[in-house]
Amino acid sequence: MTERIVVVGAALFDGTRLLAARRSAPPALAGRWELPGGKVEPGEPPEQALTRELREELGVEAEILDRVPGEWPLKPPYVLQVWTARLRPTSPAPKPLQDHDALRWLTPDEIWDVDWLDQDVDAVREATSRPS
C-alpha cells in the first residue's frame, strides 16, 4: 500500500469572509478556485506546512487555528486536510504569488459564487458550516 501524502489547506477567514484563490496552474486546474495551501514535506508537522505554504503562496503571516473535521481524497496518494486560520495583525494583505492569479474574500452569501475545485467543495462546506 502506498503511503498517503497530506496536502494542507487553509480556510483563511477575515471575520466571516473566506479567502478563495484562483489556480493559474497546472492547465487542468487553471481558472478554478481553491483553499490555499500545499503539500506537507517529510517530517514537517501539518500546521507548520500550512504556515509555510501561506507565506510562499500569498506572502502572509497566518495564525493556524483549528483542524476542520474530515479528510478529502485528492489524486492518489494525496489527501486534503483543512485548518481554519486568520491573518496575524502585522501580516501584509494576501497577494497571489505562486500558482494563483487572483484572490477573493467571499462573504457567506458569496461562498458558492466561484467555481471551486471539486475536491475543495466538501472541505469548504465543512469549514463554513462551523460556528466562527
45-97 per-position pLDDT tens digit:
999 999 999 999 999 999 999 999 999 999 999 999 999 999 999 999 999 99
CB 45, CB 8: distance < 8 Å:
no
CB 56, CB 39: distance < 8 Å:
no
Q: Is the pLDDT of residue 131 over 90?
A: no
User: Among residues of the chain, what percentage have pLDDT more than 90?
Assistant: 89
- Rounded to whole angstroms, the Cα distance separating 50 from 122 reads 19
Tens of pLDDT, residue by residue over 93-104, are 999 998 999 999
Residue 94 in grid coordinates: 494576501
122 vs 132, which has greater pLDDT?
122
Mean pLDDT score, 33-52: 97
- Rounded to whole angstroms, the Cα distance separating 117 from 23 reads 9
In the chain, what are the domains?
5-128 (3.90.79.10)
Phi/psi region, residue 98 (left: phi>0; alpha: psi -120 to 50; beta: rest), is: beta
The pLDDT-based confidence of 3 (bands split at 50, 70, 90) is confident
Q: Is the pLDDT of residue 14 over 60?
A: yes
Q: What pTM value is reported for the model? A: 0.93
The pLDDT-based confidence of 132 (bands split at 50, 70, 90) is low
Those residues with Cβ within 8 angstroms of residue 27's Cβ, 6 or more apart along the chain or in another chain: none
- Rounded to whole angstroms, the Cα distance separating 123 from 4 reads 18
